[in-house]
């Protein structure tokens, strides 16, 4: 499947910081050189100085000032390899966008929300839940983050903090490996955890992001549990064709 770079404006940005959240997840903060309007959870196309383009979701809110992206290390990946190994602070890149309809909308502040994703699928989910909470959403918001192992569950402190600050927010970390289920972390698949907690999802809104096969599987499960398809928002992190 060919992914066209996100449409919209193209502008220059500076790499503000590169921070390894785990050995395989990098937090990249970019400072656009001019005002950039977007909604948390949308994605931008990042362009390397030589023009290589890849899409990344926005974990930040416009009020944060910088754009926050979470990049997974992909074996032999051109953009992720460059970001992990060569890119430096203060370097210039370009961004195009924003694009995508996975974001919080006003108008139904009591609707229950389910957010689910694995790996860096957390980036847009973090943006969407922070946006909803900041905008005064009162309905329950349950965020399920899955990883193979505990080490892959990044941003745990930030999510635990959100849980303490907002009584309507719940963070559910899930790992596939049985023996790593400690400290409130469950084992199993994301859909097993969701089905056990929320067997009926009529009236809920769902946001699912990350690995395409997991997103497709979850979409089906949420629909079968009663969630209306118009209430399911998804972003599949399809890998761009190798250039």
Ligand X SMILES: Cc1cc2nc3c(=O)[nH]c(=O)nc-3n(C[C@H](O)[C@H](O)[C@H](O)COP(=O)(O)OP(=O)(O)OC[C@H]3O[C@@H](n4cnc5c(N)ncnc54)[C@H](O)[C@@H]3O)c2cc1C
Return residues touching ligand X (CB under 6 A).
3, 43, 54-57, 70-72, 74-81, 120, 123, 235, 237-240, 242
Of 57 and 142, nearer to ligand X (C-beta) is 57
Q: Is the dihedral of CA 233, 37, 140, 121 positive or negative?
A: positive
Cα(199)–Cα(187) distance, integer angstroms: 18
Of 46 and 162, nearer to ligand X (C-beta) is 46
User: What is the 3-class SS of the chain, one letter each residue?
Assistant: CCCCCCCCEEEEEEEEEEEEEECCEEEEEEEECCCCCCCCCCEEEEECCCCCEEEEECCCCHHHCCEEEEEECCCCCHHHHHHHHCCCCCCEEEEEEEECCCCCCCCCCCCCEEEEEEHHHHHHHHHHHHHHHHCCCCCCEEEEEEECCHHHCCCHHHHHHHHHHCCCEEEEEEECCHHHCCCCCEECCHHHHHHHHCCCCCCCEEEEEECHHHHHHHHHHHHHCCCCHHHEEEEECCCCCCC
Of 103 and 237, nearer to ligand X (C-beta) is 237
Per the DSSP assignment, residues forming a β-bridge with 26 are 20, 71
Of 127 and 173, nearer to ligand X (C-beta) is 127
Report in angstroms how near the CB of residue 124 gets to ligand X at its nearest: 7
Of 129 and 225, nearer to ligand X (C-beta) is 129
Of 43 and 113, nearer to ligand X (C-beta) is 43
Report in angstroms how near the CB of residue 110 gets to ligand X at its nearest: 29
Report in angstroms how near the CB of residue 45 gets to ligand X at its nearest: 8
- Taking each helix axis from N to C end, the angle separating 190-197 and 212-224, rounded to the nearest 10 degrees, works out to 20
Report in angstroms how near the CB of residue 225 gets to ligand X at its nearest: 25
Of 55 and 118, nearer to ligand X (C-beta) is 55
Report in angstroms how near the CB of residue 114 gets to ligand X at its nearest: 19
Report in angstroms how near the CB of residue 44 gets to ligand X at its nearest: 9
The number of residues making up the chain comes to 243
Q: CB nearest ligand X: which residue?
A: 77
Report in angstroms how near the CB of residue 123 gets to ligand X at its nearest: 4
């Amino acid at each position: 499947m060919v992914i066209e770079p996100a449409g919209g404006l193209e502008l220059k940005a500076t790499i503000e910081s590169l921070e390894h959240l785990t050995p395989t997840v990098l937090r990249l903060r970019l400072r656009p050189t001019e005002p950039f309007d977007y909604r948390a959870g949308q994605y931008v196309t990042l362009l390397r100085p030589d023009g290589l383009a890849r899409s990344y979701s926005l974990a930040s809110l416009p009020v944060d000032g910088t754009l926050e992206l979470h990049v997974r290390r992909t074996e032999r990946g051109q953009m992720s390899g460059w970001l992990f190994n060569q890119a430096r602070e203060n370097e210039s890149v370009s961004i195009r966008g924003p694009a995508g309809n996975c974001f919080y909308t006003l108008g139904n502040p009591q609707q229950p929300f389910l957010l689910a994703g694995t790996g860096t699928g957390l980036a847009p989910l973090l943006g969407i839940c922070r946006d909803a909470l900041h905008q005064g959403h009162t309905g329950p918001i349950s965020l399920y983050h899955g990883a193979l192992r505990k080490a892959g569950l990044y941003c745990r402190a930030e999510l635990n903090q959100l849980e303490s600050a907002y009584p309507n927010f719940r963070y559910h970390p899930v790992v596939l490996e049985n023996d790593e289920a400690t400290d409130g972390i469950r084992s199993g698949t994301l859909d097993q955890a969701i089905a056990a907690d929320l067997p009926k999802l009529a009236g809920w809104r769902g946001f699912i992001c990350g690995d395409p096969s997991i997103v497709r599987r979850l979409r089906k499960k949420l629909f079968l549990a009663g969630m209306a398809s118009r209430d399911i928002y998804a972003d599949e992190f399809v890998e761009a064709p190798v250039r």
